[in-house]
Amino acid sequence: MKLKYIVIASALLLTACKKDFLDSKPQGKLSDAVLNSPEGIEALTISAYAALAGPEGSDGTFLSPTTNWIYGDVRAGTAYKGGGGIGDIGEYTAFETFQGVFATNPLLDRKWFSLYRSVQRANSAIKQLNSVTEAQVPLKNVRLGEMKFLRAHYFFELSRLFNKIPYFDENVEIENYVKISNTEFTRDQILEKIAAEFGAAADLLPVTQPQPGRATKYAAKAYQAKVTLYRAYKQNADNSVASVDNGLLNNVVSLCNEVITNGGYELLPDFQQLAEAEHDNSKESVFAVQYSIADGTPAGRINWSNLLNAPRGPYSGDGFFQPSQNLVNSFKTNASGLPQFDTYNNSNLLTLADGFATNIDPRLDFSVGRLGVRWKNYTETPYQENWAREPATYGYYMNKKALVSPESPFMVKGFPWGGSALNFHVIRYADVLLWKAEALIELGRETEAVPLINQVRARAKQSKYVLRWQNTTPTDYAAKYDIELYQPGVNCTWNQLYARQALRFERKLELGLEGERFFDLVRWGAADDVLNSYFQKEKTLRTYLQNASFQKGRDEYFPIPQPQINFSGGLYKQNPGYL
């Protein structure tokens, strides 16, 4: 059974209520005897886990989504905001176009607050765990490892969203938070601290846990590899990449090797299974946010971050988070079954016929809803025009990855639209393979990266492809699918430059619509070139993108929310480029 996120009253009494940052006082006081009991400790740790799905629960998590769909994909050119037009949550339109992103944007303050609220839940649990013995709480060290893991995760999210952040541990009292500068530590120093925390967590955590959803040793090592990879790309003051640290890249390779060799992970055999709740907590899942339905709560503990993101049709949803034309075009392959790195965006895959006029990576129709193509296992109609809410603005594509099929027993019927028990992967095994490949390529060992990238492509190639709506044979597919492996000297010239291009494109295809793309672009120092090139083409298709542009040295990070600067009495310093 999945770990249930029950936010118990004793835990809530120690977590902050909604106000600027964490400037709040507890509403009650529990005795040390209660808090030091195994039950009290467990309540605190479950509260910290609950924050993975959003500490506000169903009360507005969609406005500060923990799945990062708005921060990691809509800002990256792989998706449009969607919904009922540009004024429907207009703050998100500002994020998408990089125009009018001000420190006073209330959704930025909400995201900052939610993440620090989550940090405080972990800190509260760690502080209490430090005050008891293993005799009192036999799982003390395991729970300490879990809380360190969660705290590091929340700080990592803050770092890659806002860059300049105040960093503190459980020994700092709430009333002293206001005294901590957001420039005390550099980006590099904060990432170093986060990576070290994941390492400390790994030392305390077991290889396996009795409950799915709890952090494990190799989940911590995998996350340590991710943070170390980010840290390896040293940034200048204008957020460009100054250098890439080979020592840190070697650490990434070593950590990934530990996870690959000892973690017991493997890729699911079929790409489609990643979007099926039946395969939650599979061997591909390194760490995931747990969701459930029919668990005794009114709507279930569903993914409130995706509340807006179901299409109309059988879901009756709000139609946010629509895949971009650029992403759809990226799935074209050449005569060798490899990506069209330089020419994929020269023409658009708009119609069902277009999918038969060129070769297509089969992951397209696992990830994106296209007109006339089967929608998962839905049998009444293929994906139709009336499923899109605002096609004149955002087109017709919809995101398949975050939704289960409408007839699935794991989906809520009615509100919340499309809500289901489908987990959200924070890290999956494909990530680990591609992180190792990336580090090897940057180290000049690109030949060693080939089998890693090919493992990911081979799974896509071997998956059960989407069938034509009225198929007559088991191989009557919905497009001209063709994906092949990289064969240096046969179908490609594999040098460092080509390998880097292949790795970065593979991450776009494999992890598209999973909230990572923008952060990848910033890490690589590629956001300026990629996004301004994207806008040049897309503004001919989407009129609302006419004035969109990415400003290097500013738009890699959000502004520090003005209410937080006010809260600090001006101690917090604003990120460059923002008034």
Q: What is the pLDDT of residues 468-518, one digit of tens each?
A: 999 999 999 999 999 999 999 999 999 999 999 999 999 999 999 999 999
CB distance 14 to 115 below 8 Å? no
pLDDT for 34:
66
pLDDT, tens only, 156-200: 999 999 999 999 999 998 889 889 999 999 999 999 999 999 999
pLDDT for 57:
85
Q: CB neighbours of 556 closer than 8 A, spacing ≥ 6?
A: 163, 239, 522, 527
DSSP line for 412-435 = -SSSSTT-BS--EEEEEHHHHHHH
Residue 32: pLDDT band by 50, 70, 90 thresholds? low
pLDDT > 70 in the chain, percent: 94
| Average model confidence (pLDDT) across the chain | 93
Burial class (CB in 10 A: 0-12, 13-18, 19+), 414: exposed
What's the rounded mean pLDDT across residues 402-422? 95
pLDDT > 90 in the chain, percent: 90
pLDDT of 17 over the 60 cut: no
Number of other residues whose CB lies within 10 A of the CB of residue 210: 7
CB distance 130 to 170 below 8 Å? yes
- Rounded Cα distance, 321 and 319, in Å: 7
Residue 37: pLDDT band by 50, 70, 90 thresholds? confident
pLDDT of 422 over the 80 cut: yes
Count how many residues are written for the chain.
Answer: 579
Residue 301: phi, psi to the nearest 5?
Answer: -90, 70
Residue 64: pLDDT band by 50, 70, 90 thresholds? very high
Q: Which amino acid is at 577?
A: G
CB distance 481 to 465 below 8 Å? yes
pLDDT for 482:
98
Closest CA to 55 of 104, 130, 128, 112: 112
Q: Which amino acid is at 215?
A: A
Supply the angle between the helices 217-232 and 246-262 in degrees, to the nearest 10.
Answer: 160
How would you label 351-388 residue by residue, b for 16+ Cβ within 10 Å and e otherwise? ebebbeebbbbbbbbbbbbbbbbbbbebeeebbbeebb
pLDDT, tens only, 545-557: 999 999 999 999 9
Closest CA to 376 of 270, 287, 237: 270
Residue 16: pLDDT band by 50, 70, 90 thresholds? very low
Closest CA to 517 of 579, 403, 434: 434
What is Dmax (Cα atoms) for the chain? 70
CB distance 433 to 440 below 8 Å? no
| Position with higher pLDDT, 432 vs 2 | 432
Closest CA to 385 of 376, 432, 394: 394
Q: CB neighbours of 241 closer than 8 A, spacing ≥ 6?
A: 233, 234, 235, 524, 525
pLDDT, tens only, 353-363: 999 999 999 99
Residue tagged 């063709």 (tokens):
482
pLDDT of 24 over the 90 cut: no
Q: Which domains does the chain have, with CATH numbers?
A: 9-264+556-567 (1.25.40.390), 304-515 (1.25.40.390)
Supply the angle between the helices 429-442 and 217-232 in degrees, to the nearest 10.
Answer: 40
What's the rounded mean pLDDT across residues 267-289? 98
Number of other residues whose CB lies within 10 A of the CB of residue 171: 10
What's the rounded mean pLDDT across residues 366-383? 97
Residue 30: pLDDT band by 50, 70, 90 thresholds? low
- Rounded Cα distance, 481 and 502, in Å: 19
Residue 87: pLDDT band by 50, 70, 90 thresholds? very high
- Rounded Cα distance, 178 and 125, in Å: 21
Enumerate the β-bridge partners of residue 288: 425
Structure tokens at 374: 């089967």
What's the first-to-final CA gap in the chain, in angstroms? 49
What's the rounded mean pLDDT across residues 230-257? 98
The stretches of 205-339 forming alpha helices (DSSP H) are: 217-232, 246-262, 325-330
pLDDT of 67 over the 80 cut: yes
Q: CB neighbours of 197 closer than 8 A, spacing ≥ 6?
A: 148, 149, 151, 152, 155
pLDDT of 19 over the 90 cut: no
pLDDT of 301 over the 60 cut: yes
pLDDT of 104 over the 80 cut: yes
